[in-house]
Amino acid sequence: MPPKVKITKMDIIETALELVRQSGEAAINARSVASALGCSTQPVFSNFATIEELKSAVLSAAYERYRGFLEREVASGKYPQYKAFGMAYVRFAKEERELFKLLFMCDRNGEELIPTTDFEESVEIIMNSNGVSKEKAERMHFEVWVWVHGIATMLATSFLELDYELISKMVTDVYMGIRARHLSEEN
């Protein structure tokens, strides 16, 4: 008798991630994942105690995909690092709409927002390039991020279609305006 094919935890996460990419977060349930894997629900529940545990793993995998967008945009050298982060955020929203929604368009009411690595890196970049305090850099980044999130949300929901060249110019305009206002407050 041939050995049974073992379905790994990573197989389940990748399959669930692909289901989210195709159909959104609501597609994650034991039956849909098992069906996509061509198995019963037993391997799903052997690897994850609950569907919430699987969803958490998918969230982590989606964030890693997002980090890949950040790294590739920075590595391209097309933009300074801070701007590359913003452009990667927008590109992720446009190219991975459902993963963007999963990560950045969900109800966070009542949750403590824990700064992500890219948030902390962004604050450091602003501090170092503008000679401002951490508090000022956090405020500047938050203002830019809220604006970039608006553009990204419009792209992720197909509300608006913009090309990357125009978005790049707009990001520069917004950053320079916010920067000028904050630096004038320093003087």
Instruction: Tell me what pLDDT residue 186 has.
Output: 66
Lowest mean pLDDT among 10-14, 119-123, 148-152: 119-123
Q: What is the CATH number of domain 9-186?
A: 1.10.357.10
**Hey, where are the domains in the chain?**
9-186
Residue 8 to residue 47: CA distance in whole angstroms: 8
pLDDT confidence tier of residue 112, bands split at 50, 70 and 90:
low
For residue 115, pLDDT beyond 90: no
Q: Give the predicted TM-score (pTM) of the model.
A: 0.89
pLDDT confidence tier of residue 118, bands split at 50, 70 and 90:
confident
Q: Note the pLDDT tens digit of each residue in 64-80.
A: 999 999 999 999 999 99
Q: Note the pLDDT tens digit of each residue in 133-174.
A: 999 999 999 999 999 999 999 999 999 999 999 999 999 999
Query: Of 168, 169, 70, which is closest to residue 120 (Cα–Cα)?
Result: 70
For residue 110, pLDDT beyond 80: no
Q: Which amino acid is at 115?
A: P
Q: Find the helix packing angle between 51-76 and 81-95, rounded to 10°.
A: 130
The arithmetic mean of pLDDT across residues 37-57, rounded, is 94
The arithmetic mean of pLDDT across residues 3-25, rounded, is 90
Instruction: Tell me what pLDDT residue 61 has.
Output: 96
The percent of residues above 90 in pLDDT, for the chain, comes to: 87
177, two tokens: 């305006």
CB–CB of 90/167 below 8 Å?
Answer: yes
Instruction: Tell me what pLDDT residue 147 has.
Output: 95
Q: Left if phi > 0, otherwise alpha if psi is -120 to 50, otherwise beta: which for 41?
A: alpha
pLDDT confidence tier of residue 117, bands split at 50, 70 and 90:
confident
Residue 57 to residue 73: CA distance in whole angstroms: 25
Mean pLDDT, all residues of the chain: 92
- The DSSP output letter for 26 is G
143, two tokens: 């203002």
Instruction: Tell me what pLDDT residue 111 has.
Output: 66
